[in-house]
A = this chain, B = another copy of it.
Amino acid sequence: MMQQKSEPASSEDDDPLFIQSLARGMTVLEAFRQAEGPLSLAQIAARTGLTRSAAQRLVHTFRKLGYLTLSEDGRGFRLDLPILDLTHDYLRLNPLVRRASPVLLELRRNVRERVDLSLFDGRRMVYAARMQSKRETFFATLVGNSVPTACTSGGWAVLAMLPEAEVDAILDDHPIPQITPRTLTDPAAIRGQIALTRENGHALAIEQILMGEVALGVAIPDADGRPIAAIHIAASLSEWAPEDFRRRVAPLAAEAVRSILPG
């Protein structure tokens, strides 16, 4: 094997404050990201690059702490409930989520369509909160679900507030996945949408993530003007013509963002 021990260049090495065991432990939890079901020790070891022994010890520890559990068939492990406690603490203590929640609720009352809050992590848009409407599409979009920034109305809105260089970095990062037949995957086309968004102050995405759905997104900047999140409002194309939807919803969404802002 003989991996060169000398090239990390980044950080993990020779950082006297860095606790290896903890980092290894977190990679175990992260291993479930690409999983489709329970993971065995061997699978965890493979995904994390750890020894089976290491995986065993880490998993053992997580089990004692409650974060992992032996799956019902005894042939693997799954994340367990205490994870949700962390979720709750994160959402509860996040200042943006705190400020946005009542506003989103009010917004949903007015537009009577689904309202989402997603957070920008520099790469993806991660759903943090959802206010549903009556007719519902998919449950699939759970808290913590994430989609590429380039594929959602909120992502476009965020991109429109970023300097060109960062937009390039994100668009050129990975190829953009084709989620629906109408998802724009050509960076140039997306740049076009971004330009439109800059003019309008909001983005309108038609069937980018789900066929039959139109979504309007507005970015939320932090105190320094950097976009850190977005509001989405989503509705059905069977009930709205896109332009009508935009005219009706855009002012409300903009107003909502305004009242979320620090000032």
A164 at the interface (CB under 8 A from B): no
Digitize A110-150: 1 where CB-to-B-CB distance is under 8 Å, 0 elsewhere. 00100000010100001111011011100100111110000
Closest to A119 in B: B81
- By a CB distance below 8 angstroms, the chain B residues around A94 are 78-79
Determine whether A19 belongs to the interface, using a CB cutoff of 8 Å to chain B: yes
Cβ contact of A126, chosen from B78, B84, B129, B145, cutoff 8 A: B84
- Kindly state whether residue A232 has any CB partner on chain B within 8 Å: no
Residues of B within 8 A of A83 (CB): 86-87, 90
Please state if A61 and B144 are interface contacts (CB–CB under 8 Å). no
Given contacts A58-B22, A81-B126, contact A86 B29 (CB under 8 A): yes
Bound complex: CA A23 to CA B1 (Å): 31
Is A252's beta carbon under 8 Å from chain B? no
Q: How many chain A residues have a CB neighbour from B under 8 Å?
A: 73
A residues adjacent to B (C-beta < 8 A): 11-12, 15, 17-19, 21-26, 29-30, 32-33, 35-38, 56-58, 60-62, 64-65, 67, 72, 78-95, 101-102, 104-105, 108-109, 112, 119, 121, 126-129, 131-132, 134-136, 139, 142-146, 223
Residues from chain B with Cβ under 8 Å of A129 in the complex:
139, 142
With A18-B60, A136-B109, A139-B105: A84-B90 Cβ-Cβ less than 8 Å: yes
Chosen A-B contacts, 21 in total, with CB atoms closer than 8 Å, are A17-B56, A17-B60, A18-B64, A19-B61, A22-B22, A22-B24, A22-B65, A29-B86, A32-B86, A33-B85, A72-B95, A81-B119, A82-B121, A84-B87, A86-B86, A87-B144, A88-B142, A105-B136, A109-B135, A131-B132, A131-B136
Contact A25 B29 (CB under 8 A): no
State A108–B15 Cα separation when bound (angstroms).
Answer: 52
**Closest B-chain residue to A128, C-beta based?**
B84
Query: Closest 8 CB pairs between A and B?
Result: A88-B144, A87-B144, A84-B144, A21-B21, A22-B25, A87-B87, A101-B139, A79-B90
Q: How far is the CA of A101 from the CA of B91 in the complex (A)?
A: 22
Q: Which residues of B contact A92 (CB under 8 A)?
A: 142
* Chain B residues near A223 (CB-CB < 8 A): 72
Distance in angstroms from A253 CB to nearest chain B CB is 18
A61 to B80, CA, bound (A): 23
How many angstroms between the C-alpha atoms of A92 and B58 in the bound complex? 22
Contact B131 A134 (CB under 8 A): no
